[in-house]
Chains A and B, each alone.
Chain A
């Protein structure tokens, strides 16, 4: 490896590398703009010029190959003058208003201005006057800020193999654009966003803000993964499914969640709502891809292979065999603890079994997934209700309460105690256990969430002739998933959004519900609902059965000594999930109310890590199950990529599905799955691109030395 001397420091630079890279890696900063380590050299900005001993002319260090014994100066009066000249030229056509630029504070050009001591006013300044292009999904182009470093052109062509960004000229003013300024979609852009990633200025940038809530910039680049409560590596398994490597894909999912199939059936897929592809046309069908991988999986990469630490001699008791409890049980077992799950019901599964109807999630799937945990050595005791958690502390080293929310809320309105008035949890549980629930022929469900729809659709399948669903929220603001609402409507369920529940009529047996129409509905700052009703809008629906589906609460008694929140949930420390009593932890719906399976799983994982730490472990429950795969950066162009539509799911027709509890949803078929996975924008590839190296970070390093 050649040894060169830069500013008096001897460094080794690989033969095929350049002096600039060698210097940067050795901690010697040389300003640069058009150079990017992942892209071919362009050597046009002239900021990285250096002097080589024995040569008259300055040379660009990005194209300078190291020779043994080379002596290089990165600073001199001449170099400074030429660099300032180059920067002045770049800034002559660049807006002077840094503070209004969205890239302010993260701009490489801005730091170069600071490094070179500001711009002089020696040049004739001009405004380029380009229209800012906001018509494309995901990416905004403001060519007024462009300094024509050409990084985006090279990223598009050489790094990605797409090659749709080009140099163009209008009235002798050069800019970057597509051929004939066509829209990115019409040019078959892959929307990989590499152009935005390498752009040193605010020219090509993400339309969506790079920060949202507590999410970092890196997290926001791959929102599906960031917004998944369990942070499943979505793009990685989508890629593997595209490659037909389903076993590996399933292993990737299993690295974060022990219920891949269950989630494949019923996950509320926050990831899909965040999917960047939805900006282009339709979101990826992430849940169905997961389901396909999970169903095609035989366990090659994970069965009997994951982590299993030796026994620690510690005993953990978990109350509740739902997704939160079972997830925690599984990971605690893998950490080497002895785990016993106590379940009040006759079968394990919690809300998976008693809350979600068979037609959405068949029992055998739950069984199959639970079996994995049993095989890992988790002990299960059913029909054991935990009445007093504190007593359990005597027998176990740690206790986790994950009993969920199994008590349906019965609103205190007139007639709510009449015969024929039921609540969601009991109704759904009875249906699961195939018991008589007391349902008649004409049913009104009160509530607009997913559980309300489960009740309505279950009622339909149990033989109700007429099923209505009424809720406070307007149609657009109904909390249920859109697919639930449309499918229910297909099944003939009548939806009445924007209604208040005035009273349930009837003498001893309910015979109808009176409603008023809602004008506005909002929550005040104390999260209390504020409703204004439309005058004289009273209406009535005749019914012999009314089902409350307006929320669920945990079945907890205050007297058992656990501090509770004002809402009646168990109070925990958000980070450790510890309750007010030492050694007792809580997770899942019982701490935050009815949410989703994936959140329960995430909560269960968090509890497992925390309990493991409490018991003396390191709290590291992470697993690597799938082999690391090198992903191809050169993704190439695909004709019509932006317009490729989301694969259709195989759904049994409404007429057919209402007559039984058979699953009606067949996922995506094998023919379509690869096509669907191929629609992924692979946003995570962008994270492989080397981040900018600003002089500020070099400065700090020097201070440390």
Chain B
């Protein structure tokens, strides 16, 4: 007997009692109007970590979905997969057929009108419903840690976590070196790590990912990346999501590329705040959360980028300057050969010079210099020659 059959045998009323007893936040009050139960990743979820629940246990999720449908007076069942995972569709349909569950599997974002009329259930919640029927339920959350250092990033292993587990236990990084933590779409200061995986909080950890930003991260660069990611997820139908993300992304990009204006902070804030309730799905409504949090916690970084033209962490290459130390250069030409932009000038035996406007700050010359006298700095460039000068002849003024 499948779990779904067991659920049906138990009857609707008994199931509702058990769901309530287990305190699963499955909203049964909307039951009468619900035309469909829809599951899938949230539209703004670009991490796809939670998809592993479906990949590992499709039977559990499908039966959970069927149980939800049964509780909601046989509502239609819908499962949305990200475009990139379209190949799962066939497998799911096969499994559903085996389990005699009628489910429509679609790819792409969950359309706003379906979110309006239907009842959304996460994979975790469906697993909860399954376990309620099997009477094995204990609240558990699927979490994965992600670390960012400079421009690098890596993931920890996803794991099932019991409520009450302190976040500290999940993080494998020296807390002193942590700059910020991202839970769901929001950003927090490291003191959040003192708290534990509380039930209410975790239901909102809707991507299942805890991102840890190392002290070497530039939070404005992170905000830019976050907005860019949002634009790529945006379907383009809502004005505030489509145009708002574009405006915010362009402006943050201006900031990281040395063209920032302090005056644009106000309109960015106004736009970001309006976005929270002006789109039809979470891509737009949560799209500016991260940015607003960086405004709140890291205003100083904005001040530095916009007013002082510096990126303290040296991430935003627009603020980085590369120079060849005139004392050390032997005029060997190794850097010239390596430069992809052809922006190093020099002759054998002369001190080489970098043409700053064309330089993309790829740092290849820095690595190529046998004397190790090419430096990148976020500060001021020391005095260097402004015309071709023989090695050893350069005098500081």
Interface residues of chain A, those whose CB is within 8 Å of chain B, are 42-46, 57-58, 82, 85-86, 89-90, 92-93, 122-124, 126, 147-148, 150, 167, 169, 172, 174
- The reply to whether B235 and A167 form a contact with Cβ atoms under 8 Å apart is yes
Q: Least Cβ distance of A207 to chain B in Å?
A: 26
CA separation between A42 and B231, bound complex, in Å?
A: 20
A-side contacts of B270, CB under 8 Å: 85
Give the residue name and chain of the A residue nearest to B241 (CB). A44
B-side contacts of A43, CB under 8 Å: 280
CA separation between A86 and B270, bound complex, in Å?
A: 12
Q: Does B6 contact A (CB under 8 A)?
A: no
Q: Least Cβ distance of A141 to chain B in Å?
A: 16
CA separation between A295 and B163, bound complex, in Å?
A: 84
A-side contacts of B247, CB under 8 Å: 89, 92, 123-124
Query: Which of B271-279, B322-330, B336-344, B355-363 forms contacts with chain A?
Result: B271-279
Excluding A85-B271, A92-B243, 15 further A-B contacts by CB distance (< 8 Å) are: A42-B237, A44-B237, A44-B280, A45-B239, A46-B278, A85-B270, A86-B240, A89-B239, A89-B240, A93-B243, A123-B247, A172-B231, A172-B234, A172-B246, A174-B234
A-side contacts of B28, CB under 8 Å: none
Q: Does B232 contact A (CB under 8 A)?
A: yes
Q: Does B10 contact A (CB under 8 A)?
A: no
Q: List 29 A-B contacts (CB under 8 A).
A: A42-B237, A43-B280, A44-B238, A45-B239, A46-B278, A58-B277, A82-B274, A82-B278, A85-B270, A85-B271, A85-B274, A86-B240, A89-B240, A89-B244, A90-B239, A90-B243, A92-B246, A92-B247, A93-B243, A122-B267, A124-B250, A124-B251, A126-B246, A148-B236, A148-B237, A148-B242, A172-B232, A172-B234, A174-B237
Interface string of B195-233 (1 = CB under 8 A from A): 000000000000000000000000000000000000110
- Could you tell me the dominant secondary structure of chain B's interface residues? helix
Q: A44-B237, A122-B267 are in contact. Are A174 and B277 (CB under 8 A)?
A: no
Give the residue name and chain of the B residue nearest to A90 (CB). B239
B-side contacts of A89, CB under 8 Å: 239-240, 243-244, 247, 271
A-side contacts of B239, CB under 8 Å: 44-46, 86, 89-90, 147-148
A-side contacts of B232, CB under 8 Å: 172
B-side contacts of A150, CB under 8 Å: 237
Give the residue name and chain of the A residue nearest to B270 (CB). A85
Q: A57-B277, A82-B274, A89-B243 are in contact. Are A174 and B250 (CB under 8 A)?
A: no
CA separation between A357 and B353, bound complex, in Å?
A: 96
Q: Least Cβ distance of B265 to chain A in Å?
A: 12
Interface residues of chain B, those whose CB is within 8 Å of chain A, are 231-232, 234-240, 242-244, 246-247, 250-251, 267, 270-271, 274, 277-278, 280
CA separation between A86 and B241, bound complex, in Å?
A: 11
Q: Least Cβ distance of B271 to chain A in Å?
A: 7
Give the residue name and chain of the A residue nearest to B244 (CB). A89
B-side contacts of A85, CB under 8 Å: 270-271, 274
Q: Which of these, B234, B235, B240, contacts A46 with CB under 8 Å?
A: B240
Give the residue name and chain of the A residue nearest to B250 (CB). A124
Give the residue name and chain of the A residue nearest to B113 (CB). A40
CA separation between A90 and B244, bound complex, in Å?
A: 10
B-side contacts of A174, CB under 8 Å: 234-237, 242
CA separation between A172 and B250, bound complex, in Å?
A: 13
B-side contacts of A148, CB under 8 Å: 236-237, 239, 242
Give the residue name and chain of the A residue nearest to B279 (CB). A44
B-side contacts of A126, CB under 8 Å: 246
Q: Least Cβ distance of B205 to chain A in Å?
A: 24
Give the residue name and chain of the B residue nearest to A58 (CB). B277
A-side contacts of B240, CB under 8 Å: 46, 86, 89
CA separation between A92 and B247, bound complex, in Å?
A: 9
CA separation between A43 and B251, bound complex, in Å?
A: 27
Instruction: Sort A-B residue pairs by CB-CB distance and give the 6 closest, nearest first.
Output: A174-B236, A89-B243, A44-B238, A122-B267, A124-B250, A89-B239
A-side contacts of B231, CB under 8 Å: 172
B-side contacts of A167, CB under 8 Å: 235-237
B-side contacts of A82, CB under 8 Å: 274, 278
Q: Least Cβ distance of B224 to chain A in Å?
A: 14
Give the residue name and chain of the A residue nearest to B231 (CB). A172
A-side contacts of B237, CB under 8 Å: 42, 44, 148, 150, 167, 174
Q: Least Cβ distance of A221 to chain B in Å?
A: 29
- The reply to whether B274 and A169 form a contact with Cβ atoms under 8 Å apart is no
- The reply to whether B243 and A169 form a contact with Cβ atoms under 8 Å apart is no
CA separation between A57 and B232, bound complex, in Å?
A: 28
CA separation between A393 and B243, bound complex, in Å?
A: 77
Q: Least Cβ distance of B253 to chain A in Å?
A: 10
A-side contacts of B271, CB under 8 Å: 85, 89
Give the residue name and chain of the A residue nearest to B245 (CB). A172
Q: Least Cβ distance of B108 to chain A in Å?
A: 11
Q: Least Cβ distance of A65 to chain B in Å?
A: 12
CA separation between A46 and B251, bound complex, in Å?
A: 23
A-side contacts of B246, CB under 8 Å: 92-93, 126, 172
B-side contacts of A86, CB under 8 Å: 239-240, 278
CA separation between A43 and B112, bound complex, in Å?
A: 10
Q: A44-B280, A57-B277, A122-B267 are in contact. Are A169 and B236 (CB under 8 A)?
A: yes
CA separation between A86 and B247, bound complex, in Å?
A: 12
Q: Least Cβ distance of B107 to chain A in Å?
A: 15
B-side contacts of A123, CB under 8 Å: 243, 247, 267
CA separation between A703 and B247, bound complex, in Å?
A: 40
Q: Least Cβ distance of B380 to chain A in Å?
A: 31
A-side contacts of B234, CB under 8 Å: 172, 174
Give the residue name and chain of the A residue nearest to B243 (CB). A89
Give the residue name and chain of the A residue nearest to B249 (CB). A172
Q: Least Cβ distance of B280 to chain A in Å?
A: 7
Q: Least Cβ distance of B228 to chain A in Å?
A: 9
Give the residue name and chain of the A residue nearest to B228 (CB). A172
CA separation between A532 and B238, bound complex, in Å?
A: 65
A-side contacts of B244, CB under 8 Å: 89
CA separation between A148 and B234, bound complex, in Å?
A: 13
A-side contacts of B250, CB under 8 Å: 124
Give the residue name and chain of the A residue nearest to B266 (CB). A122
A-side contacts of B251, CB under 8 Å: 124
A-side contacts of B274, CB under 8 Å: 82, 85
CA separation between A93 and B251, bound complex, in Å?
A: 15
Q: Least Cβ distance of A356 to chain B in Å?
A: 60
Give the residue name and chain of the B residue nearest to A41 (CB). B113
Q: Least Cβ distance of B267 to chain A in Å?
A: 5
B-side contacts of A57, CB under 8 Å: 277
Q: Least Cβ distance of B251 to chain A in Å?
A: 7
A-side contacts of B267, CB under 8 Å: 122-123
Give the residue name and chain of the B residue nearest to A49 (CB). B278
Q: Least Cβ distance of B109 to chain A in Å?
A: 11
B-side contacts of A92, CB under 8 Å: 243, 246-247
CA separation between A167 and B242, bound complex, in Å?
A: 12
CA separation between A123 and B268, bound complex, in Å?
A: 10
Q: Least Cβ distance of A555 to chain B in Å?
A: 71
Q: Least Cβ distance of B83 to chain A in Å?
A: 12
CA separation between A496 and B244, bound complex, in Å?
A: 69
Q: Least Cβ distance of B178 to chain A in Å?
A: 32
Among A82, A89, A150, A174, the most chain B Cβ lie within 10 Å of the Cβ of A89
B-side contacts of A147, CB under 8 Å: 239
Q: Least Cβ distance of A351 to chain B in Å?
A: 61
A-side contacts of B235, CB under 8 Å: 167, 174
B-side contacts of A93, CB under 8 Å: 243, 246
A-side contacts of B243, CB under 8 Å: 89-90, 92-93, 123
CA separation between A90 and B238, bound complex, in Å?
A: 10
Give the residue name and chain of the B residue nearest to A150 (CB). B237
Give the residue name and chain of the A residue nearest to B235 (CB). A167
CA separation between A217 and B331, bound complex, in Å?
A: 76
CA separation between A123 and B251, bound complex, in Å?
A: 10
Q: Least Cβ distance of A168 to chain B in Å?
A: 9
CA separation between A82 and B237, bound complex, in Å?
A: 18
Among B231, B236, B243, the most chain A Cβ lie within 10 Å of the Cβ of B243
B-side contacts of A169, CB under 8 Å: 236
